[in-house]
Structure formats: C-alpha cells, structure tokens
Amino acid sequence: MEALYLEETDETPGIKLDSEKNIFEFIGKSLPEDVATFYNPILDWLDEYSKNLNDTTEVVFKLDYFNTASSKMILDVLLKLEEFQESGKAVKVKWYYAEDDEDMEDAGNEYSEIVDVPFEFESYN
C-alpha cells in the first residue's frame, strides 16, 4: 500500500501514514481553509489500510493547535482507529502536548473518553 506523506504548513499538520514502516503521525497545527479537502484523502487512506491492518497500529498526535472544524475530522480519524481495534488488531494513540498547554491535554482526554482506544499521554517542553 502506498504511503501518504503531507508536508506540514502554517495551516495544516504534517501527516505520515506509512503502513510498511508502521509510522502514523499527525504533527503541527490544523486549521485548513477547507477541512474536508484536507482530511478526506487521509480518511480514504485509512479506509484502504483497514483492508490489511498491521498487527499493531500506534498513532502519534503531536498537535500544537486545531480549530473546531478540524476537531471533528480528528474525531473521524479516531473513530476509524476504534474500528481497527474492534477488528481484533492492537491500536494505541500517543497524544503529545506541550507541558503548559492544558487545552491540548484536555482535548486528548475528551477524545480518549469518546473512543474505545487506549491513549498514552506525554507532555514535552
């Protein structure tokens, strides 16, 4: 399966989705002009990946900021991960947040309560 790499910009996160290397990362800020145009290829990639899942999928979220529209798309990504887990594969989310960013920590906690996927939280300076 072909990997999906999107460069980080001022308005969109860097995305690395590579099933062969077992790398799944969302890093940076997410406030794209059109969230559907940005996130739909990611959701499509995850749909394709769901047909041949790795035994373990660990997804890293290291977001500095996301807007309201992005929050719904991030939830859609997390709901796909929940589907992966329901199919019997191991899934884990690593949620990173700046140690002084309570909003991002809270967002991760809220997501962890909505989806049935193990979350690991880690702060950084």
User: What tens digit of pLDDT does each residue of 67-113 get?
Assistant: 999 999 999 999 999 999 999 999 999 999 999 999 999 999 999 99
What pLDDT sits at residue 85? 96
What pLDDT sits at residue 121? 98
Domain ranges of the chain: 4-124
Angle between helices 68-86 and 35-49 (to 10 degrees): 10
pLDDT band at 59 (very low <50, low <70, confident <90, very high): very high
Give the tens place of pLDDT for each residue, 30-56. Answer: 999 999 999 999 999 999 999 999 999
Task: Please count the CA atoms within 13 angstroms of the CA of 54 that sit on its side-chain side.
Answer: 17
Average pLDDT value over all residues in the chain: 97
What pLDDT sits at residue 91? 98
**Top-level class of domain 4-124:** alpha beta
What pLDDT sits at residue 73? 98
The pTM score is 0.96
What pLDDT sits at residue 10? 97
